[in-house]
Structure 1
């Protein structure tokens, strides 16, 4: 075998390498010509580059951050209003640029669509190149295998044809694709790496489609249901609901349910006192009118699923049962009023409204304390369970209000047009403290309020995401493709066997990794050489680093 130190190795062809740019100008460089076709080609080339796709993916993740940090109008409209009231200037600016409804904002949608187009533009040409690479034969054997990154030489008493046959068999056992030529064997493996890349990018496209379908056709609603009462899955029954543009309210599954009992248990020991231990609700469910109802135990991580709609248990609280009589002695309001928990001990705030009271309408605002204590810190709850429940209220009165039909927050009180009820001497605000069964008469014959008892309520979230299986499948496929692209080793190995002058067969083995930061190539090449040869020169004998790659040996 001849060779000098200034000789260069053969070109190791890579069928997956992109074709060179026609005008030799970098793809990211804007065309000097002002022709629209050149500009469009330049824009498309940059939009469909992998760098652009990664940049858009990062931009989409960054754009979603405000949606996690700020309240969103579709899911928390009252929190958005409170945020704007607390910081009017900043709140109006955030609202103007869509930070309170991030996922429906034009700029978020633009990033979303550009990422979709970029991924599709990346996948189509790479799939075509990959298909050609799968059909192509392993590249020709370089003239000088010793100049490859990993090389070994040895000799064998077997004939060259027998050596090549043994090399082909050994490489096939290692899942190489093998082609036997006149005096050499060319083998390659690792095409699954590029397949993993394509699967990953295709999964991202499917994921975007699934998220879009779910956002357009899905819905999520919340409803508070006191124990002993029921809920029917109709649009008017929800306290709040968020739905996509393709949502059809007439297509809701016609199920109904009744909350028979809710069980809440809290830690009473010295360690983690007050921590939640058990939350579950016993339901009676009727999936459609006329069907036989059945019982279901709803737990926090065990939702009820009906026709693709999930019912989750997301919260609970207390609802005092009160009776309000007006100045005429008539019952102006009677029933359960849900109060919202404010802390871990379930200090709950709420409002009781009697707009039909006459001659003046009445309203009450305050707190329900499940385990009440009044000390120098004021009224407070010591434990989340209802061991000593009490109701603390302030009373308001005013002229009858004309019904306008405008929605109103049932958990807070709008005091516009109302005045505080004062004590008998008119010197202080009337403070009402009620235990179950107690009643307080308002001064000046304005009526009375009685706390008849209390009940628990549960908060249910009813949601449907039409493309959820598609989205989950895309996530699994993306993870699988990413693992393939990270762990599959694309590798090429060549074996040349020639009859030597001493009657023995001279064997050369060379290898090349087609991905950076790979290990084990030297060991694999040396092991194959040792397996094929008589091991007279030892594995790896004659191996040397190649200084360069890309030119034929002259």
Structure 2
């Protein structure tokens, strides 16, 4: 048990870097930025797997050693517990006066009556009656076995949590996806439907539980000082037979109240804005897009992003790459100017505005390299293939015209929400083991193991009167606190005044 406690402490200590340092599985970009900012120290931590703590070799080793230690601790204790449950209470000590709790009295009652009364008083105790020398009889009683039961339940529950948590890491998965709150749909059909996906070791992403979600709207409520008070989104979802017959079922998704369907949980994690721009080309053709922009200030919801356009009707690839557009900059739901810089003073959509840089040229979309939807390829800017052709602050309904005659209008704002899809087939087992741990801990802390002995000795008093000398003793095998009251209560009833000699 000492080894298990040491390993449990080490496991808690080993988990601390996972809370203090960015983890690659949660935010790869932030992890790379941290490593770059800390030079050799960041690279050393990376080599030591401090940015992948929970899958590192050293964390897994402590985890496995703790499980082995618990098994090695629990097996012999369980065997000993079974033996103690089958064994009879110990013999009555020869000298009860040496016990922490002791009472003695001479009673006029018959020995059989005293013993019968003692058995009734000790109802619920495990007891055995024994005969001793010279006609002396005794009762040995013991209770509080539930304490050791609770102790074992606690440790078996802990072992179960460890085992099922490990199994969950094998067969669970977690994905994040941004969905526009305008009736857009998301289907849990494969890993490519997600913006980020973290599979378990035995999950390849080809056999996810199928379901679809349609995000109809999003509503947020804030306090006067801009603190978030309530988020909710009205969804429709379908799973199982609904996927075949096209039935959509409504659900109101709120923070910490996930949608549970098809064995998965869908959480509402985050929200933001999608500025909508309409581009009117010199030939009169128009294109409209509303792409999500990422938050830069989680308090005021100031956002940044890039909305990218390909020119219509241009079939020549070389020419098309010279006329691509990107509208980049900042979006403020409630505009506030800090000098000449756009900022936001409130997270709700009360006075939306954008500060945009319009970039024209080659966006690098045909380079074969992936790029972020939130920014343009800086390499194209450095090479002079992508240039800024306009910069302006716009309110809803305003537009600007770039040198080639193309007009860009800020039409309005949409909203998006970020959903987390979690699948863990062992979460019910983990919860059950955690409940067993709590019940076992409560039993081991509240129940006290104690013993009670009664010795009855028939004697002859004055005038040949038959008397019974009754001795009672008590011993708490653990903490004695509280047992004195119970012992005195039983002893007082057993040795009541009306039974005593005058």
Q: TM-score, normalised by structure 1?
A: 0.80
Q: Is the 8 A contact 1:67 1:103 kept in 2?
A: yes
Tell me if 1:126 matches 2:81: no
Whole-Å separation in 2 of the counterparts to 1:310 and 1:478? 25
Tell me if 1:135 matches 2:91: no
Tell me if 1:180 matches 2:129: yes
Alignment-derived partner of residue 373 in structure 1: 336
Q: Is the 8 A contact 2:171 2:201 kept in 1?
A: yes
Alignment-derived partner of residue 286 in structure 1: 238
Q: Is the 8 A contact 1:155 1:536 kept in 2?
A: no
Tell me if 1:527 matches 2:479: no
Cα deviation code 1:178-202 (max 9, x no counterpart): 1111211100011111111111111
Whole-Å separation in 2 of the counterparts to 1:59 and 1:377? 53
Q: How far does residue 278 in structure 1 lie from its aligned partner after superposition?
A: 3.3
Tell me if 1:239 matches 2:171: no
* Residue correspondence of structure 1 range 136-215 to structure 2 within 5 A: 136-172=87-123, 175-182=124-131, 183-215=137-169
Alignment-derived partner of residue 401 in structure 2: 441
Whole-Å separation in 1 of the counterparts to 2:298 and 2:345? 11
Q: How far does residue 415 in structure 1 lie from its aligned partner after superposition?
A: 0.9
Alignment-derived partner of residue 307 in structure 2: 352
Whole-Å separation in 1 of the counterparts to 2:387 and 2:409? 16
Q: How far does residue 275 in structure 1 lie from its aligned partner after superposition?
A: 2.7
Number of aligned pairs?
A: 474
Alignment-derived partner of residue 55 in structure 2: 104
Shifted more, 378-387 versus 406-415: the winner is: 406-415
**Which ranges in structure 1 are unaligned for 5 or more consecutive residues?**
1-49, 424-429, 539-554
Cα deviation code 1:53-76 (max 9, x no counterpart): 111111111211221222211121
Distance 1:530 1:68, change over 3 A: same
Distance 1:523 1:294, change over 3 A: closer
Distance 1:263 1:60, change over 3 A: same
Cα deviation code 1:368-408 (max 9, x no counterpart): 00111224373211221111111112244454636354432
Cα deviation code 1:64-108 (max 9, x no counterpart): 122122221112112112222222322212211111111111111
Whole-Å separation in 1 of the counterparts to 2:158 and 2:288? 55
Q: Is the 8 A contact 1:152 1:525 kept in 2?
A: no
Q: Is the 8 A contact 1:355 1:361 kept in 2?
A: yes
Query: Of 255, 263, 277, which residue of structure 1 is paired with 2:219?
Result: 263
What SS does the aligned partner of 1:245 have? Answer: coil
Whole-Å separation in 1 of the counterparts to 2:418 and 2:351? 23
Q: How far does residue 211 in structure 1 lie from its aligned partner after superposition?
A: 0.6
Q: How far does residue 294 in structure 1 lie from its aligned partner after superposition?
A: 2.2
* Residue correspondence of structure 1 range 206-225 to structure 2 within 5 A: 206-225=160-179
Tell me if 1:511 matches 2:466: no
What SS does the aligned partner of 1:504 have? Answer: strand
What SS does the aligned partner of 2:93 have? Answer: coil
Cα deviation code 1:263-314 (max 9, x no counterpart): 22323xxxx4323333211222222243412222222232211111111111
Q: Is the 8 A contact 1:218 1:463 kept in 2?
A: yes
Q: Which has a greater percent of strand?
A: 2
What SS does the aligned partner of 1:261 have? Answer: coil
Whole-Å separation in 2 of the counterparts to 1:529 and 1:227? 74
Query: Of 383, 387, 407, which residue of structure 1 is paired with 2:346?
Result: 383
What SS does the aligned partner of 2:452 have? Answer: strand
Q: How far does residue 519 in structure 1 lie from its aligned partner after superposition?
A: 1.4
**Which ranges in structure 2 are unaligned for 5 or more consecutive residues?**
132-136, 312-319
Distance 1:327 1:87, change over 3 A: farther
Whole-Å separation in 1 of the counterparts to 2:173 and 2:128? 57
Distance 1:180 1:360, change over 3 A: same
Whole-Å separation in 2 of the counterparts to 1:245 and 1:158? 74
Cα deviation code 1:451-480 (max 9, x no counterpart): 222101111111111101000000000000
Shifted more, 71-80 versus 520-529: the winner is: 520-529
